[in-house]
A and B are shown apart, each in its own frame.
Chain A
């Protein structure tokens, strides 16, 4: 997810974001990895399909494993929305 997120960033996540509203393209969402549900992944919402399935794509398109590999996810696979980075201090601020 470079450059939006770097390895080792500490971020604040709104875990209730998607109980209040639908995911929107541009959001950085946490989701359960469909290939290994114990693992949580952070990806950007690229699109919502007509049935409500969410297409997730990594920003670092060359390296990312995302909906191109595992397909769109049901909305309830999304577990939160990344809001702010609080560490490292030099990059403190909203995650866009």
Chain B
């Protein structure tokens, strides 16, 4: 901690917008949700067009999970975009707004459609955000990996 920071730092910390003290951000939560979307899109395609009760039930469950996880991915992205990234990051990465806008739009597209390419594009977009995020923390030791 710098001398300046020691002088300026307040004696009390107040929390203002989430349940835990702020400061813990990681694009991994968005990546996991996006991977679930991709997995569900693939499973829906593989399930085919059958309309017997069991298939309809399975399809409904896949769709519900795809919707839910796409929404979750969007939410996690918005938290990073609006809470973590600050104006100095924007100066270093003028493309941040476009990157997040496109990723959020892909979340929406994946809710509307069953589209493996769009789901893969979402995972890839989050990979790009992963790189920007960790670069902003001067970390080059965090690989982007996928669980699926």
- A residues near B, CB below 8 A? 1-2, 5-7, 10-11, 13, 30, 33, 39-43, 58, 60, 63-65, 86-87, 90
Contact = CB atoms under 8 A, between A and B. Distances in A.
A58 B16 CA distance: 7
B86 A40 contact: no
Main secondary structure of the interface of B (DSSP, over half): loop
A10 B14 contact: no
Nearest to A15: B12
Contact of B17 (A10, A40, A58, A87): A58
A43 B15 CA distance: 9
A83 to B, nearest CB: 13
A33 B82 CA distance: 24
B10 A1 contact: no
A27 B119 CA distance: 45
Nearest to A39: B15
B19 interface: yes
Contacts of A42: 14-16
A11 B13 CA distance: 10
B9 interface: yes
A10 B10 contact: yes
Given A7-B16, A40-B14, A42-B16, 15 more contacts: A1-B16, A2-B17, A2-B83, A5-B16, A7-B17, A7-B23, A10-B8, A10-B9, A41-B15, A42-B15, A60-B17, A63-B17, A65-B18, A86-B8, A87-B8
A46 to B, nearest CB: 15
Nearest to B84: A7
Nearest to A87: B8
A31 to B, nearest CB: 9
6 contacts: A11-B10, A41-B14, A41-B15, A42-B16, A63-B17, A65-B19
